[in-house]
Chain A
Amino acid sequence: AQSVTQLDSQVPVFEEAPVELRCNYSSSVSVYLFWYVQYPNQGLQLLLKYLSGSTLVKGINGFEAEFNKSQTSFHLRKPSVHISDTAEYFCAVSEVDTNAGKSTFGDGTTLTVKP
């Protein structure tokens, strides 16, 4: 079975500063990886996904993430954040070639962007 650990529960950062949200996963098989964003009182929205190929994945709103198989990590980065990026961010993993589609989520990282 797979699991996800988001290493920081809260990340405060000033506007226009860079940010990294850390995610580590555990699985005995190959995986697909995802980052979702959740704004207050809304559902989750897919930011980006890694399925195969290039380990650097670009998503919406200027976010990118890098898949590191040896370190079993999938950290999310943005070079310059805006106030509007304040939200909850979830990392998720799905195992390849098993119960296709089922994702396991981390417990989230609250990103707070301060002016």
Chain B
Amino acid sequence: EAGVAQSPRYKIIEKRQSVAFWCNPISGHATLYWYQQILGQGPKLLIQFQNNGVVDDSQLPKDRFSAERLKGVDSTLKIQPAKLEDSAVYLCASALRDTPYGYTFGSGTRLTVV
């Protein structure tokens, strides 16, 4: 089966600019997660979707970050405006359902804010 697709792979922007990341999960996976992985740290959950509804966005900095999952399939994560501390790898993961049998991760988008 095809894996979790993410684009772009790399992005360099200046601070205060905006950026968007795209994720296409594995077909049939109802649950989708966005994680932020800062260099030298483990992934930190930003937002969890179940189909097209938000399950948990408690760790999402809502003043600058937004995410949506239209039609319960693809998802986009946006940052506006970006700060230097947003430099990280943004990982998308999907799971067959909301029981924790393990995720399938995409390759991530490496964001550098200069």
We find that the number of chain A residues with CB closer than 8 angstroms to chain B is 25
Among listed A37-45, A63-71, A79-87, interface-contacting one: A37-45
Choose among B31, B43, B101, B110 the residue that contacts A44 (Cβ–Cβ < 8 A).
B43
Contact B107 A94 (CB under 8 A): no
Q: A45-B105, A101-B48 are in contact. Are A90 and B99 (CB under 8 A)?
A: no
B106 within 8 A of A: yes
Contact B105 A108 (CB under 8 A): no
* Chain B neighbourhood of A92, CB < 8 A: 42
A34 within 8 A of B: yes
* Chain A neighbourhood of B97, CB < 8 A: 101
Contact B40 A103 (CB under 8 A): no
Q: How many A-B residue pairs have CB under 8 A?
A: 68
* Chain B neighbourhood of A4, CB < 8 A: 42
Q: A90-B42, A108-B42 are in contact. Are A44 and B100 (CB under 8 A)?
A: no
* Chain B neighbourhood of A90, CB < 8 A: 42-43
CA distance A73 to B35 in the complex (A): 24
CA distance A81 to B93 in the complex (A): 28
Contact A103 B41 (CB under 8 A): no
CA distance A49 to B102 in the complex (A): 7
* Chain B neighbourhood of A107, CB < 8 A: 40-42
A51 within 8 A of B: yes
Min CB distance A1 to B, Å, is 11
Q: A90-B42, A106-B42, A107-B40 are in contact. Are A46 and B98 (CB under 8 A)?
A: no
Pairs of residues from A and B, 5 with the lowest C-beta to C-beta distance, nearest first: A43-B105, A105-B42, A94-B100, A46-B102, A100-B98
* 12 pairs, A vs B, C-beta closer than 8 Å: A43-B105, A43-B108, A44-B103, A45-B105, A99-B48, A99-B55, A100-B98, A101-B33, A103-B103, A105-B35, A105-B44, A108-B40
The residues of B with any CB-CB pair to A shorter than 8 Å are 4, 31, 33, 35, 40-45, 48, 55-56, 91, 93, 95, 97-108, 110
